[in-house]
Each structure stands twice: as C-alpha cells, then as structure tokens.
Amino acid sequence: MNKIKVYVGMSGGVDSSLAAALLVKQGYDVTGVYMKNWTADLPGVKCPWADDLADAKRVAVQLGINFKVFDFEKQYKQKVVDYMIDEYKNGHTPNPDIMCNQEVKFKLFLNTALEDGADMIATGHYARVFNTESAVILDSKQADFRHDDSKSDSLYSAELADAQTSSNSQESDLKSSGQVDSVSSSSITTNSASATTNGLSLSPIILSDHLQPEFNKASGPLLDPARSRSDGMNGEGLLLNVSLLKKAVDENKDQTYFLYRITAEALSKTLFPIGEFTKPEVRKMAEERGLTTAVKKDSQGICFVGQVGIRDFLSLYVDSKPGEIIDKKSGKTLGFHEGAIFYTFGQRHGLDIGGGMPYYVVGKNMEKNEVYVTTDLNDETLWKKTINLGNLHWINQAPGVGEYQIRVRHRAHLINARLNFKNDNVILKLDNPERAIAPGQSIVIYNGEICLGGGIIV
C-alpha cells in the first residue's frame, strides 16, 4: 500500500514545524504548505508573512520534504476579514480565528490539498482527533431515553447510569476477548439521549468515559485514508467511522475552542500530531531535532497581521466617529469616545474616564454611537446565568437535552451548564452567573473531553 500523502499547514512557527517533523518520522509522505493569507503592512507595523514563509521553507529543507505556497489572500479577505469588520460594525465581538479555521484551514486548505493529490491534511493545533472505526452503541430501540418535562431529572440520570453500566459490561467483554485494548481505535459509546425537542431530531450523546484510548502519536502512515462518516446507526447498533474532536493534553494550550466549527468530514481527513504533548515538550522535541523555529516566539495579536491591536486594525477600515460615554444609572455624560465600534461588553480599560471607581462597558447603541458604562460590578447586565446561542454548529449531530460543560472564551475554565433547545437556538442555564457575555462571541460545548460544537451569543 502506498504511503498516505499528508499536506501540513506550516505557518513558520514551532508547533507546525514539529507537526511536520513527527509525521516525517512516522513515515508519511509529507508536503509542507504555507498559506499566504495576508501580506499587507499596517502603519508602523510590518506584516510578518515573508519572515514566516522563510522560516517554514527552512524547516521543510531540514526535513527534506516538498514545499508549496497556497495563495488564499483574496478568499481570506472576503471570508475572515470582511466578516470581522461587519460584525464589529453591528456592535458584536467576533472571533476571526474561529472563522479562519471554518472557512480557510479546514475548508479551503483541505479542499485545495485534496485536489492537489493529498489524502489528508495536518496542522499544529493543540487538539486531538478520535476516529471510532466501529463504535458499539446501544440500539435506540433497546434504550430509548426520551427526555421530557414529565420525567424527573433524577429518573433521567438513573437511566443514563443504567445505560453506562451496560456499556461498561460490553467493553469489559470485548477487552477480555482481545477485541479492544488500551490503544485501539474501537470504542464503546452509549445512546444516552435520543430526544426530539421542538421538532428537532437530536442525536445520541456520546459518553466520553468510553473514549479514553491514548494515542502517543498520529495514526500510522499505512492506514487506509478513506475514512468517512456514517450518519446514525445500522440495525445492529453500530455507529461506523465517526470522527470526534477531543481536547488536547495541554489544557493551557488547548485550541478546540477555535475549532468547534469544523465538520466531522474535515476531521476524518485531519491529523493533529502535537495534540498529545504540552508546549514545553513541543519546544524540547523541536530543539532535539535542531529545527530552526524551536525557540521562535509564539505570534500575538490578530491572527493574520501579528502584533497589531484590534482597535488599530479596525481604524483602517471604519470611520472614527466621536460619541458620548454615558453612565447607565444616572444618564450623565462622563466623557467621549472615538467610536462605539471599538468597545466591547465588559471592557474596563481604554475608557479614559478619570477619577473614582473603575467603569465597565455594559452596553452600546450603534445607531446613536453611544457607550454605556457603570461602576457597579453587580450590575445585572454584567452577569448572565442564562445564555441564548444562535448560528449553531455541531461537529457530528446535535446533542440531546442535558448537562454539559461549556467554555465561554478561549482559556476560560470549563463550567457546567444545562442545554435545552428553543426553536433554532440553544438555551444554556448556568449553575453560576458568568461575567461579560458579549454578543458575537462563541460558546463551545463539551461532553467530557469531547468537543461537540457550539454557537454564537445572541
């Protein structure tokens, strides 16, 4: 069998450099690809793309792999930059990194690579792919847990526990027969909630307790690359070839928050070689291999222009229009700003309101170009215990009603939330209120270590 051809997105940083090196060592047919997404300089700041390209080329030469440049600048401007600017104009707080992954890296790059002869792609993201080649799952006819308001939470939890016990027994039988071991890609999942809510057909919840095989490296280089997803179950209760997004080993660097809008189809053709390692381990391995990017600092600022703040970037594309900063409680004008577009919900710094207690942004009117602030940290608009999500995306299928963990922003701690559906939106009920929940930002939903998807705050 021919080696699997993998096109690795190489940004010129240490993470993607080591990803390429690991795949080479494992015997893949590796090609490095630099995605030229943005080349424009900004006032006082030179775009680092040329230096990054040179660094990526050097690593490719060190590794002895082919190297290509994919020019996505036009599409990137349309799909990521224009989207970001429009969202800010509407008073929202978008995340361009999430849109970049959705539209460029795991759609445009993936499709271009496949058309160019690749079997799979790889990136230097801190995340993991879990491919269930033959996940045993309880048939929905045997375990039909339809959750409705007439059924108590305690009873529902008991049913889930019974299902999990049954699944554990199946897993034990398989292990004793030698069909499953600690590094097998086969896994046991449980149809813990096959629900119908407001006309929506909801898929089984996959219990992450049964998705714990540990991979110390990416899949082997001679595996069949034709991995596809099968929707639903067959008559015997088998869910075949499902690709799941799993959190990275390094909790501090985990990037699944930025990847929640990826599709299962894209995941089935993606490798994340460094997802099993911590950042210090990545740097150490890069140094041991003599990679020229081993000590290169991580990029900061906006994902595509480097060391530039969002306010400086937006000022190039929108007209600055002075407006009033108003105390929410008294209605008094406290000062003036250069444009409501530059402020986000919960913001404290950059208001330039002198004296007294610090002020926080608690609202803005884009039509009137007004920003509303308060010194009251207990202001009800600063804290949310119920969050409404729209523009939903599920990596596989929608989860059932129930308890999950959510991340309200990158690197925020996972918190518990109860998920329910209302029309086309998701309603999240939190155990404790969260501060500064800004419209336009994403909230990502997890079941244990598995990232299910998420939506955008409305």
* Active-site amino acid positions: 100, 303
Closest CA to 441 of 187, 96, 124, 195: 96
Q: Give how far Cα 409 sits from Cα of 123, 332, 363, 441, 443, Å.
A: 22, 32, 19, 8, 7
Cα–Cα dist 122/115, whole Å: 15
Which residues lie below 8 Å from residue 90, measured CB to CB, with a gap of 6+? 366, 440
Amino acid letter at 93? T
Q: SS3 of 360, please? A: strand
DSSP assignment, residue 237? S
Instruction: Kindly provide the residue ranges of all beta strands, DSSP E only, lying in 344-408, ordered along the sequence.
Output: 360-365, 370-374, 383-394, 402-407
Query: Does residue 427 contact residue 421 with C-beta atoms inside 8 Å?
Result: yes
Cα–Cα dist 408/172, whole Å: 37
Closest CA to 115 of 200, 202, 33, 191: 33
Closest CA to 374 of 324, 437, 328: 328
Phi then psi for residue 274, to 5 deg, are -100, 5
Burial class (CB in 10 A: 0-12, 13-18, 19+), 425: middle
Query: Does residue 124 contact residue 18 with C-beta atoms inside 8 Å?
Result: yes
∠ CA 77-118-56 to the nearest 5 degrees?
60
Cα–Cα dist 320/408, whole Å: 30
User: How far is CA 443 from its chain centroid?
Assistant: 9
Cα–Cα dist 187/194, whole Å: 19
